[in-house]
Structure 1
Amino acid sequence: MLHIADLRFLTALSSAPSLAAAARSLNVTPPAVSQRLAQIEARLHLRLVERGHGPLRLTAEGAFLIERSGTILGEIETLTEEMTTRAGRIEGPLHVIAPFGFGRLRLAPILSRFAGDNPELRPTLSLSEDPLGAMRAGPWDVLIHVGRLPDLRIVQRKLAANRRFLVAAPAYAARSGLPQSPVDIAAHRVAVVREDRADTTLWPLTGPDGTETSLRVHPVYACNDGEVIRGWALDGNGIVERSEWSVSEDLRAGRLIHVLPDWSLPDADIVALLNPRAVRAVRVDAFVDGLAAEISRNCR
């Protein structure tokens, strides 16, 4: 007879390159792993793992058992999630994916407070500028994205509106002046973020009369981290395009000023994507609700 603990043990064993590696992951000795495996095989009257040198290999029976174990363990986890949801408890794992800058500066403190208020929660925050890749890389519950995404046919919730601005430091404006029209930017120093596969050197601008233009800029500075770009702007190194959440406090304090304030860039709203394959647990909904409230209050 097999027990749930046996299925978890065999699943961990199957993902390890060797019995010794499995022992390390299970925090037991290699003889203990070998002994438990032998006991399970004896009960089933089947050999599940090929002994010998080299990487650990499953027999056909072992591979079949691992495949079925994945289904059974997944159903047990789902059932546990559903019962936790019925009880209204905020506990268990919460996997969140977010962009580097926004995740580090805005999301991480919110997640920390949420976990502090719910001590049975086990949060994981993964920072990535490749949301599609991050979604494929491992388990996730909520993905936070700033800006437009392709049609993923995934439930999205808008957390906050987020405008984009062209900004520069007063020191740069005093030294180099400011452009009066989009074409004037060609004579200025520009910094851009190079992230994802987006063409960040093409700035689509809309004028006060609705005139649209696509401005191709030739950056002097470039980085794949938006907060580095913001820092360069604060140092007076040139004109940058940044999200409202990133520079709102700098604009209020006068550390940065608007460039071409009558022209606008497309909005880059802050949205939460919910994993359609994950159980909509209470913890997910509670976190997203709290996140929306805090972002709307603090990111403007």
Structure 2
Amino acid sequence: MITILGVGLESRYIVPVISIRWHYVDKLCHFWNNNFMLNLSDLTAFARIADLGSISAAARSLAMPKSSVSRSLMRLEETLGAVLVERSTRHLRMTDAGLLLKQHAKRILDDVAEAENRISGLIGKPSGDLHINAPFTFAVGPLAEMLPAFMEYHPQVRIVLSVDNRPVDIQMEHVDVAIRIGPLQDSSLIARRITSFELWPCASPSYLDTRDPIVKPDDLRHHRIIAHADRHETWRFYAKGGGLREFEFSNRSVIPEPDVLKAMLMKGAGIGLLPDFHARDAVEDGRLRRVLPDLSTGCVDVHALYPSHRSLSAKVKVFIDELIAYVATV
């Protein structure tokens, strides 16, 4: 039994696969028994390189300089006396020793993280790195607004924020909590609802004042519509007293990024859907007007996701709780 930071690791963690020479196993055993606590950060860097297939990607994921990640890899290789990654100008390739270390490093790091989570939960003080992933619109809106106070109240938590509109594999990229907008895909992740918002059809006064008036959804057919995600899109309008109206259109311009769409709408590009929290300031100061404001487009849910294979750490729980509390006030 090997004990690392209070976590018991069974001897199976150092059992080699058949194709690996015993020389590497002896080296790894010596490394874990004698050098592990001094090289935990190096092991983390190696695991990220192995997962992402690139030193540059690993550095971005860890919010570290590329040179520091490279040095971590070289220190590991020097300690083990084995090449872990074969490098070329075009790609990286894991050696047999690297594949063995990758296999066991993930389990070790997961166990260490689990121990930290449980200890943090016991003492009730959030601490350590909190890796957050969020889409750009939410990151520059509610998230950017609540994080300064969160960082002030929890100085032992180091925020590492990645902003990305693409679906990120949060387990592969070691994200603690991810913010997702819209329908969720089935997965092993735990989801907690943060808030919901409406999509407002908006346009600039300069555009609306020079076009035919819009009093019902069908009137939109005579206007320049900018789609969010697909040229063949359907907008649904719900009346307060009940009833549904649908407006379908095709062959329209597609602008998937809300910040770009908002800027274009304010310049008179046409009519588009914006999240209410993103459009509210421009509507209130007159740069944009809501179209068909008496009809609702329905609500879009926002969730926080975190891996199910780990207990909920104090830092993740506090972050989600405070984010929910903040968005409820705006």
Q: TM-score range by the shorter chain?
A: 0.7 to 0.9
CA–CA distance in 2 between the matches of 1:152 and 1:33?
34
1:184 and 2:219 matched: yes
Q: Distance in 1 between matches of 2:301 and 2:100?
A: 46
2: CA distance between counterparts of 1:280 and 1:119? Answer: 19
Out of 56, 80, 86, the residue aligned to residue 37 of structure 1 is 80
Aligned twin of 1:193: 228
Report whether the alignment pairs 1:57 with 2:92.
no
- Given that residues 193 and 200 in structure 1 are in contact (C-alpha distance below 8 angstroms), is that contact kept between their aligned partners in structure 2? no
Aligned CA distance change for structure 1 residues 179 and 136 (closer, same or farther; 3 Å): farther
Q: Which range moved further: 198-207 or 259-268?
A: 198-207
Matching of residues 201-280 of structure 1 within 5 Å = 201-218=233-250, 220-280=252-312
Which stretch shows the higher mean deviation, 215-224 or 48-57?
48-57
CA contact (8 A) 2:194 2:303 kept: yes
Could you say which residue in structure 2 is the equivalent of 1:135?
170
What residue in structure 2 maps to residue 123 of structure 1? 159
Aligned to 1:45: none
Q: Which residue of 2 aligns with 1:96?
A: 132
1:289 aligns with 2:327: no
TM-score norm. by structure 2 comes to: 0.71
| TM-superposed deviation, 1:53 | 9.7
Q: 1:223 to 1:28 in 2, by over 3 A?
A: closer
- Counterpart of 1:25 in structure 2 is 69
The one-letter code sitting in structure 1 at the alignment partner of 2:261 is I
What are the within-5 Å matches in structure 2 for residues 142-181 of structure 1? Answer: 142-152=177-187, 154-181=189-216
Q: Distance in 2 between matches of 1:220 and 1:276?
A: 40
Structure 1 position 184, deviation (Å): 1.2
Share of identical aligned residues, percent? 23
Q: Any unmatched runs of 5+ in structure 2?
A: 1-29, 54-65
Q: Quick check: 1:206–1:212 contact (8 Å CA) kept in 2?
A: yes
Residue 161 of structure 1 contacts residue 267 of structure 1 at CA under 8 Å; is this kept in 2? yes
1:130 alignment partner, SS class:
coil
CA distance in 2, matches of 1:190, 1:169: 13
CA contact (8 A) 2:198 2:299 kept: yes
Kindly indicate whether the alpha-carbon contact (under 8 Å) linking 1:191 and 1:219 is maintained by their aligned counterparts in 2: no
After alignment, is 103-112 or 183-192 more displaced? 103-112
The one of 70, 73, 83 aligned to 2:119: 83
For 1:117, the aligned partner's letter is Y
Deviations 1:262-283 (A, max 9, x none): 3221211322223213431111
Count of aligned positions: 279
CA shift, 1:10, in A, is 6.4
CA distance in 2, matches of 1:277, 1:153: 8
Q: Is the CA contact 2:198–2:297 (under 8 Å) kept in the aligned structure 1?
A: yes
Q: 1:202 to 1:35 in 2, by over 3 A?
A: closer
Asked if the contact 2:214–2:220 (Cα under 8 Å) also holds between the matched residues in 1, the reply is yes
Q: Say if 2:196 and 2:299, in contact at 8 Å, map to a contact too.
A: yes
- Provide the C-alpha distance between the structure 2 equivalents of 1:159 and 1:122, rounded to a whole number of angstroms: 22
What is the letter of the counterpart of residue 101 of structure 1? T
* Whole-angstrom distance in 1 between the partners of 2:268 and 2:86: 65
Q: Distance in 1 between matches of 2:248 and 2:278?
A: 23
Unaligned 5+ residue runs, structure 1? 39-47
Output the CA distance in 2 between the equivalents of 1:247 and 1:161.
15
8 Å CA contact retained: 1:97, 1:134: no
User: In the alignment, what sits opposite 2:61?
Assistant: none
Q: Structure 1 stretch 201-210 or stretch 166-175: which is displaced more?
A: 201-210
1:124 Cα offset (Å): 1.8
In structure 2, C-alpha distance between the alignment counterparts of 1:139 and 1:276, rounded to whole Å: 13
Aligned AA (1:246): H
